[in-house]
Structures are given as C-alpha cells and as structure tokens.
C-alpha cells in the first residue's frame, strides 16, 4: 500500500488494550504485518481468542488475558510501548442497556488508569484513545464535525451512558495531554464494519449479513429511514496508524470513518441483493427492539476534513465490497457448520 513505509517507525512496540476485540485485532494484524512487536491485553468480555488465534504462534505477539481495571502488568507494558491503542471498552448499545455499571467502570476508570500509567512511565509513547460518534449525542444534524456542539438529554437516560463515558475519556485524555505533554490523539469512530465484528451486541451489518445468508428476515428497526456511514475496519486501522504518527494530531480529537451514507432500509436491500438471498425485510418498532427508553440517532455521517488534512486518508473499501467479503465469510462459516 502507498505510504506504508513512511508510516512505519521501525520495530515498534505496540500495546493494544482490547486487542482481542473487533478493531483491536485488526490493529494487531496490521502491526504484525509491518514487522512490529504487538502486546495485546484483553479480558475477553466482548473480544475472543478466535480473533487473535492467527497470531498466537508469532514470536512478535504477546497476549495477556486481564482486565484493564486490575491488570498488574500495566505499568511494565506501558513503559515498554512506543505506541498504545486504547480500545478496551464495553461497547454496543444493547450491552450498554443491559449493564450500565460495567460500562461506566471499564470505560472511565480503565482509561484513567492507563493515562496515569503513561504519565508515570517516564516515556512518551504515541497514544490513540478510542472515542465514538455517539458523543455527538441526540443531535438532529445530518453530519458531524469535531467543532459541533454535543446534544445530550439531561433526564438520566441510560441509553446515553456509553456516550457520557466516552466523553469523559476524551476530557481525561485532553487533560493529561495538556498538563503532562502526552502525545495523545482522540479518535471518534463512526460505524466501523468488517470481519470479526459480531451481531449479538446489536450492530446492524453483521446482523443483516447473518440473517441474509440464513434466508431469515432482516430486522429493520423503525422505518429504516435512519442513515449511517459505514467504514471498513481495514481502512480504519490505516487512519489510526497515521494519526498516531502525526505530531500535528497530538492533543486533537479527530473523526474517523467513511462519509458515504446509506439508509438502513437501503442497506437491508443491498445485503439481500449481494447475498442473493430470499430474506424478506421485517420492520420492528424501536420499542420492541430496545425497550421504552431508546432514542435513535437519525443520521450519522462524519465530516472528514480534519482527518484528510492531517493524514491524507481516503477510505479504499466500498460498502458493497465489504458486504461481499462478509457474505463470503458467513457462507464459508455456514458450510463448516453443516
Ligand atoms: N438496526 C437495525 N436492525 C438491527 C440492528 C440495528 O435496523 O438488527 C439499526 C439501528 O436502529 C440503527 C442502525 O441500524 O439505526 C445502526 O445500528 P448499530 O447498532 O449498528 O450502530 P449505531 O446505532 O451505534 O450507529
């Protein structure tokens, strides 16, 4: 890939918290392919051993099964690292509604513990802190730039617990970056999709792909007029790598995603078509899908000017190509099970 060498320092030591998860495992794959040493810590709550299985015989790869809240290897690992990706978090709207206490603890205390370790490490690694487009909140805008205002309901609705923890993480990161001169970039990730993502935490693309391959109804929530912009994880990790290595990005918050937009209804039709499936669409009310409290975001498209200016990043994966790849993998899985 163009620019690959310019992005690479050399034999970097890369620590990935949540590295057995969806995005974390792709970061591990990328850095191992670049010849770096990779250390993954993950409590396997939403991540899985299957995601890191392909790397386990690799001498450049290490794995610690531990919770970021209690891991006693944290200080050492942080002092070892040239680059840290902090991806460990409780994610997914359904999971957040089920267990808000775990969300608050892991997402905020875990991040603060990591930042404190970096500050005391006496070494200044490049750090990526994962945030989310959810922080823009219940906002009627059709697209979101980093300078936009955040709109959150004040009535203590747990649906927004995830957004609030990630916002707290952002402010923690900025505080440490400013006070101690740490090289931190906060990334707001917009609807990332790709291999290793699982549907049972409510994510739409893996759910639709699975349903289409099984010729079962695709569960479209609401009327399906809400829109999203999906970014292939193999593009996402390129953007994160470049941002971490860009001194102009340190201390900044940057949207990361793909700005091509599609309605959920059109997405459902596209998945059915690409999978040559006979699945019908099944429209389910938000109340039945998530319970009383749920407020969906109508549109969620990133403004990517800042990311482009800082890194020259352009996504390479088109949605239809990602879907074809995911459908192919799901079919192969179905064949293995049969
Ligand atoms: N969605 C859907 N069917 C599903 C899962 C999700 O229609 O089986 C909708 C959901 O209501 C939302 C969109 O798809 O409008 C994206 O949902 P996801 O949880 O993947 O991402 P997020 O809501 O965090 O953007």
264 C-alpha to center of ligand 1: Å? 8
Among the listed residues 85, 162, 201, 221, the single catalytic one is 162
Q: Which residues pair with 189 in a beta bridge?
A: 132, 256
Q: Whose CA is nearest to atom 11 of ligand 1?
A: 221
Task: From 136, 25, 145, select the one nearest 85 (Cα to Cα).
Answer: 25
Q: Which domains does the chain have, with CATH numbers?
A: 11-193+230-259+302-316 (3.40.50.720)
Task: From 82, 197, 184, 205, select the one nearest 131 (Cα to Cα).
Answer: 184
Confidence (pLDDT) at 293: 64
Pocket test for ligand 1, best of 192, 202, 209, 233 (most atoms within 8 A of CB): 202
332 C-alpha to center of ligand 1: Å? 25
166 lines ligand 1 (CB under 6 A): no
Q: Is 53 exposed, middle or buried (0-12, 13-18, 19+ CB in 10 A)?
A: exposed
- Chain centre distance of CA 113: 20
What DSSP element (H or E) covers 253?
strand 253-256
Confidence (pLDDT) at 115: 97
| Cβ atoms of residues 91 and 49 within 8 Å | no
205 C-alpha to center of ligand 1: Å? 8
Residue 160: C-alpha distances to residues 29, 36, 198 (Å): 32, 37, 22
* DSSP state letter for 144: B
pTM to 2 decimal places = 0.94
226 lines ligand 1 (CB under 6 A): yes
Answer yes or no: 85 catalytic. no
What sections of the chain are H helices per DSSP? 4-7, 22-33, 49-52, 74-80, 93-98, 100-104, 110-120, 161-180, 204-213, 233-244, 264-274, 286-290, 305-311, 319-337
Cα–Cα distance measured from residue 127 to residue 35, given in angstroms and rounded to the nearest whole number: 19
Question: Other CB atoms closer than 10 Å to residue 69's CB: what's the count?
Answer: 14
Q: Which residues pair with 283 in a beta bridge?
A: 220
Residue 323: C-alpha distances to residues 220, 255, 320 (Å): 17, 23, 5
Cα–Cα distance measured from residue 330 to residue 206, given in angstroms and rounded to the nearest whole number: 9
| Cβ atoms of residues 192 and 23 within 8 Å | yes
In ligand 1, the atom with minimum distance to the C-alpha of 94 is 19
Cα–Cα distance measured from residue 176 to residue 171, given in angstroms and rounded to the nearest whole number: 9
Cα–Cα distance measured from residue 214 to residue 318, given in angstroms and rounded to the nearest whole number: 24
Confidence (pLDDT) at 10: 63
* DSSP state letter for 150: P
Confidence (pLDDT) at 8: 52
Sheet holding 83-86, edge to edge: 61-65, 37-42, 13-17, 83-86, 126-132, 183-189, 253-256
62 lines ligand 1 (CB under 6 A): no
Tens of pLDDT, residue by residue, the chain (338 residues)? 334 444 555 689 999 999 999 999 999 999 999 999 999 999 999 899 999 999 999 999 999 999 999 999 999 999 999 999 999 988 766 777 888 888 888 899 999 999 999 999 988 999 999 999 999 998 889 999 999 999 988 777 787 888 999 999 999 999 999 999 999 999 999 999 999 998 777 799 999 999 999 999 999 999 999 999 999 999 999 999 999 999 999 999 999 999 999 999 999 999 999 999 999 999 999 888 877 667 788 999 999 999 999 999 999 999 999 999 999 999 999 888 88
């Amino acid at each position: 890939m163009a620019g690959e060498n310019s992005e690479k320092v050399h034999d970097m030591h890369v620590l990935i918290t949540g590295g057995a998860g969806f995005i974390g495992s792709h970061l591990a794959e990328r850095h191992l392919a670049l010849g770096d040493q990779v250390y993954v810590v993950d409590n396997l709550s939403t991540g899985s051993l299957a995601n890191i299985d392909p790397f386990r015989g690799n001498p450049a790869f290490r794995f610690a099964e531990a919770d970021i809240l209690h891991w006693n290897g944290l200080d050492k690992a942080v002092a070892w690292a040239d680059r840290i990706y902090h991806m460990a978090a409780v994610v997914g709207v359904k999971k957040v509604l089920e267990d808000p206490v775990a969300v608050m603890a892991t997402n905020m205390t875990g991040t603060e513990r990591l930042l404190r370790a970096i500050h005391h490490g006496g070494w200044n690694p490049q750090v990526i802190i994962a945030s989310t487009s959810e922080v823009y909140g219940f906002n009627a805008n059709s697209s979101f730039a980093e300078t936009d205002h955040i709109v959150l309901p004040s009535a203590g609705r747990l649906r927004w617990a995830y957004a609030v923890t990630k916002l707290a993480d952002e402010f923690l990161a900025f505080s440490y970056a400013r006070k101690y001169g740490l090289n931190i970039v906060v990334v707001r990730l917009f609807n990332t999709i790709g291999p290793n993502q699982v549907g049972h935490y409510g994510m739409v693309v893996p759910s639709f792909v699975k349903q289409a391959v099984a010729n079962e109804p695709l569960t479209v929530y609401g009327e399906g007029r809400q829109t999203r912009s999906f970014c292939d994880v193999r593009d996402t990790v390129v953007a994160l790598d470049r941002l971490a290595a860009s001194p102009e990005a340190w201390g900044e918050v940057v949207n990361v995603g793909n700005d091509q937009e599609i309605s959920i209804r059109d997405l459902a039709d596209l998945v059915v078509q690409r999978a040559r499936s006979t699945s019908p669409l099944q429209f389910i009310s938000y109340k039945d899908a998530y319970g009383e409290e749920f407020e969906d975001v109508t549109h969620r498209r990133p403004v990517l000017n800042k990311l482009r200016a800082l890194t020259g990043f352009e996504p390479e994966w088109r949605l239809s190509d990602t879907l074809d790849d995911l459908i192919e993998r799901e079919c192969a899985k179905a064949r293995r099970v049969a």
